[in-house]
Structure 1
Amino acid sequence: MADDALLRSSLIWLAAVIVLVGLHTHSFKKMMVTYLMGLFAIAGILLPHWDFFDRPFSQWLSPFSVDAMDSNPPHRSTSKRFRIYPLRLVIYAAVYGFSVYKWWMFVSN
């Protein structure tokens, strides 16, 4: 339920940003780009299968079996979902930083 509430509040904030972009730019195209970029950003943070990515980086290319998940049951706390791993942090910072920069350059012109 907490994940649903987080997704719902993220989508509400996205709608508010879209309205602000629309009021500021008067451009439907820029509103749609903001909508798509926001959906991809929300999906990239909230939807990945974190049990898969919580393994060591060298094991990401190997299949993830259900037996491995059963032997190591996931804790259903939200703190596990947002653990800070250096490699994940670098990848997210690079991808989202570049995306926000390109979005801002598009919207501000």
Structure 2
Amino acid sequence: MASDTALRLSMVWLAAVIVVVGIWTQSLKKMMVTYVVGMLGIGGVLLPDWDFFDRDFSRWCSPVTADEREAALAQRSGLRSNFSRSSSLRLVAILPLY
């Protein structure tokens, strides 16, 4: 992950949501469900190495080389999303992770 700030900020917001759910419902079970769902959501969105998954599907079994990482960093610009190039095979392979 390029910046831990987004991870920390999202975990703080999740803690605030858990406190609100706990106060509102007064249920420890619902607080725990909120925590688990929130952490899975944070882990699924922020933690994956998108440079790894943005390669051709056949290359997923081999590690990312330094040249590939540099090319991915050079290609990335501003607010452009890594998902601009979509592949149906990539979508089918990543979707079960969520």
The answer to whether the superposition gives a TM-score over 0.5 is: yes
What does the per-residue CA deviation read over 1:67-89, in whole Å, with 9 as the maximum and x for residues that have no partner?
Answer: xx222214186746x4223527x
One-letter amino acid matched to 1:5: T
SS across alignment from 1:63? coil
| Paired position in structure 1 for 2:67 | 71
TM-score, normalising length: structure 1: 0.63
Q: Does the 8 Å contact 2:50/2:82 carry over to 1?
A: no
Letter of the 2:18 counterpart: I
Q: Number of aligned pairs?
A: 88
Matched to 2:9, the amino acid is S
Gaps of 5+ in 1: 96-109
Cα distance in 1 between the residues matched to 2:67 and 2:41: 32
Higher RCO (CA < 8 A, seq sep 6+): 1
Distance 1:46 1:59, change over 3 A: same
Correspondence list, 1:1-109, <5 A? 3-60=3-60, 62-65=61-64, 69-72=65-68, 73=70, 74-75=72-73, 79=79, 82-84=81-83, 85=86, 87=91, 91=95, 95=98
Unaligned runs of 5+ in 2: none
TM-score (normalizing by structure 2):
0.68
Q: How far apart in 2 are the matches of 1:19 and 1:47?
A: 24
**Cα-to-partner distance string for 1:35-89 (whole Å, 9 max, x where unaligned):** 11111110111111222101023433x2225xxx222214186746x4223527x
CA distance in 2 between counterparts of 1:79 and 1:58 reads: 28
Instruction: Give me the identity figure in percent.
Output: 45
Q: Give SS of 1:75's match.
A: helix
Give the CA RMSD over aligned residues.
Answer: 3.0
